[in-house]
């Protein structure tokens, strides 16, 4: 064999080796493509993974506006929305409450939560890292200090310790303000919650904090010493947050969800249930009520419990009584109504009450009268709207409330929802509206304020007083009736809204026909 033949043989072997290498490389590339294709296929989207898992993991924080455990169980606006969203997807809701905004954002980034429902403000900085669902509420940021201390009216007048939650929108807002106010200083905490900071204001551990308007409004019902110095910046929007490293499938479902509940009116109803009665704050009135609840109410608690029985929540009855008489047995109005429940002479006579100043008889009579009013509300009206409409009727009469309901339906809204009817009641003062009604003119703004006041008192009593154990220790109450008792004492603001399409509204003639019942 000469050299030329030897080189030819070596060349053939090299070609075979090269072909083998190319073939192996082709197999590796093909397999990689198949694996990547499976990984990013639509069947393995974030939403599909969650559906396969069977649980929706939501991270939140504990506060009256987001999530908390009341005596009836889990409650809060974010909890109610998340529960409804999970139910819509056919999933079990898994709530994880953490202490700081930092932990919430970290949970999203690490993938230990599918979404954050925690009263998060949409900011430009956050939009760089997270996707947001459509906003569900607008809030403003308030500088909070303790009543009685020096009132700061702007940033330049702050003198003391200002503390906010780390990674919060409040901290981001202060960073921007620092550019214009070089002397501005503050501290950030990863251990204190927003409510902890409000408590530190009250015990004077710190001088100032910043709170969202909705959270502050709920807390001022119980802590009227929380005062507002000034608003910081423009109103901002709250929304759910999603990590950007995932696909958009879960967020797309959330967009559809909020679109549906906004169109159906369910979102507006939820916001009204939780905040509609706390928009106006009365410092003196709130302090007076808290003092009366502590000093006066204990003398009458047993009478309210007995009169309420199993049909009413005694705290609601007590709230009605405070609105009527401030728990004064000898109260009397210029119109002649008298006593703890301020009964008219006619009503007292119908109830067989001879002495309206008799505390026990007045409370019992008021309970019977309110129960009768409550039973007049059509059965199709759901709680808590049924109770709010009954309270309005207790104040102004069912006829005028029915006029407002008919007007509500004529204007395209739901006559069975208090959030819609309360907008029409004040219109009964205007001739162009009341001249077309059956019962005519009415001071319709008064029952709206009346209901809002009672809702505030009722909710405060729920916060101050647990369900008395004695009500469950009666031998005649079995397990089933105990559950019924819990149902009657359920706080309306924390009821979950079921995710159901609204039924078709009744014809106007059907609503009007209820006057004949």
Distance CA 94, CA 53 (A): 11
Note the residue count of the chain: 517
Most confident of the following: 264-273, 284-293, 388-397: 388-397
* pLDDT top residue among 465 and 76: 76
The predicted pLDDT at position 273 comes to: 75
Record the pTM: 0.59
Give the model's pLDDT for residue 497: 28
Q: What is the pLDDT of residues 235-248, one digit of tens each?
A: 999 999 999 999 99
Q: In this predicted model, which residue has the larger pLDDT, 152 or 281? A: 152
Q: Is the pLDDT of residue 62 over 90?
A: no
Q: What pLDDT band is residue 142 in, cutting at 50, 70 and 90? A: very high
Residue-level pLDDT at 28: 55
Rounded Cα distance, 122 and 108, in Å: 15
Q: Which residue has the higher pLDDT, 44 or 278?
A: 44
Lowest mean pLDDT among 53-62, 69-78, 178-187, 480-489: 480-489
Give the residue with greater pLDDT, 335 vs 424.
424
DSSP sequence for 142-186 = EEEEETTS----SGGG--S-BEEETTSHHHHHHHHHHTT-TT---
Residue 18 has a pLDDT of 59
pLDDT for 175 equals 92
Contact indicator for 273, 495 with CB cutoff of 8 Å = yes
Q: Supply the pLDDT for residue 23.
A: 58
Q: Which of 195, 215, 266, 324 is catalytic?
A: 324
pLDDT at 459 over 90: no
Q: Using DSSP, how many helices (H) and how many strands (E) does the chain show?
A: 22, 11
Please report the pLDDT score of residue 83 as a whole number. 94
Query: Is pLDDT larger for residue 38 or for residue 222?
Result: 222
> At CA 505, angle to CA 502 and CA 509, rounded to 5?
165
pLDDT at 434: 83
CB 64 within 8 A of CB 216: no
Residue 159 CA to residue 2 CA, distance in Å, equals 101
Cα atoms in the 13 Å half-sphere on the side-chain side of 31: 6
Q: What is the pLDDT of residue 505?
A: 35
Judge whether residue 406 has pLDDT over 90.
Answer: yes
Q: In the annotation, is 324 catalytic?
A: yes
What digits encode the pLDDT tens for the residues 468-515?
Answer: 433 323 333 233 332 332 333 333 333 322 333 333 333 333 343 444
| More confident: 371 or 26 | 371
If pLDDT is split at 50, 70 and 90, which confidence band does 287 have? confident
Which pLDDT value is given to residue 181? Answer: 92
Helices (H), 2-95: 3-39, 46-53, 77-89
pLDDT tens per residue across span 246-286? 999 999 999 999 999 999 888 988 888 777 766 666 666 77
Residues 75-124 have pLDDT tens digits of 889 999 999 999 999 999 999 999 889 999 999 999 999 999 999 999 99
Contact call for residues 486 and 344 (beta carbons, < 8 A): no
Lowest pLDDT segment from 49-58, 138-147, 180-189, 456-465: 456-465
What pLDDT, on a 0 to 100 scale, did the predictor assign at position 396? 87
Percentage of the residues of the chain whose pLDDT score is greater than 70: 79
């Amino acid at each position: 064999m000469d050299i030329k033949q030897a080189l030819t043989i070596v060349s053939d072997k090299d070609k075979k080796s090269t072909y083998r290498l190319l073939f192996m490389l082709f197999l590796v590339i093909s397999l990689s493509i198949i694996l990547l294709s499976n990984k990013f296929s639509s069947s393995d989207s974030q939403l599909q993974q969650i559906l396969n898992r069977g649980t929706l993991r939501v991270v939140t924080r504990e506060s009256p506006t987001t999530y908390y455990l009341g005596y009836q169980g889990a409650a809060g606006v974010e909890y109610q929305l998340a529960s409804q969203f999970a139910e819509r997807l056919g999933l079990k809701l898994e709530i994880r409450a953490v202490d700081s905004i930092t932990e919430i954002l970290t949970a999203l980034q690490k993938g230990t939560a599918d979404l954050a429902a925690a009263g998060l403000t949409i900011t430009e900085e956050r939009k760089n890292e997270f996707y947001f669902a459509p906003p569900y509420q607008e809030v403003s940021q308030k500088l909070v200090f303790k009543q009685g201390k020096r009132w700061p009216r702007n940033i330049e007048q702050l003198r003391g310790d200002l503390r906010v939650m780390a990674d919060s929108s409040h901290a981001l807002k202060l960073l921007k303000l620092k550019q214009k106010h070089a002397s501005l200083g503050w501290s950030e905490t990863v251990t204190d919650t927003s409510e902890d900071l409000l408590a530190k204001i009250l015990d004077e551990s710190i001088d100032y904090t910043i709170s969202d308007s909705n959270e502050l409004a709920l807390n001022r019902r119980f802590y009227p010493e929380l005062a507002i110095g000034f608003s910081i910046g423009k109103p901002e929007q709250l929304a759910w947050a999603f990590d950007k490293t995932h696909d958009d499938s879960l967020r797309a479902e959330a967009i559809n969800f909020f679109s549906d509940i906004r169109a159906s009116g369910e979102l507006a109803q939820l916001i009204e249930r939780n905040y509609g009665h706390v928009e106006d704050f009365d410092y003196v009135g709130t302090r007076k009520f808290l003092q009366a609840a502590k000093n006066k109410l204990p003398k009458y608690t047993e009478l309210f419990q007995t009169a309420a029985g199993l049909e009413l929540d005694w705290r609601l009855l007590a709230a009605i009584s405070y609105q009527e008489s401030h728990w004064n047995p000898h109260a009397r109005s210029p119109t002649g109504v008298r006593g703890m429940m301020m009964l008219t002479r006619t009503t007292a006579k119908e109830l067989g009450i001879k002495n309206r100043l008799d505390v026990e008889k007045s409370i019992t009579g008021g309970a019977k009268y309110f129960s009768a009013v409550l039973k007049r509300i059509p059965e199709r009206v759901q709680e808590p709207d049924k109770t709010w409409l009954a309270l309005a009727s207790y104040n102004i009469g069912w006829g005028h409330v029915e006029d407002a309901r008919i007007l509500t339906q004529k204007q395209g809204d739901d006559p069975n929802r208090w959030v819609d009817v309360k907008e029409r009641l004040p219109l009964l003062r205007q001739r162009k509206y009341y001249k077309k009604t059956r019962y005519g003119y009415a001071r319709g703004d008064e029952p709206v304020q009346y209901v809002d006041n009672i809702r505030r008192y009722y909710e405060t009593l729920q916060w101050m007083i647990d369900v008395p154990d004695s009500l469950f220790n009666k031998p005649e109450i079995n397990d089933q009736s105990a559950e019924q008792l819990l149902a009657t004492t359920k706080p309306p603001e924390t009821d979950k809204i079921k995710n159901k399409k609204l039924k078709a509204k009744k014809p106007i003639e059907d609503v009007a026909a209820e006057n004949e019942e």
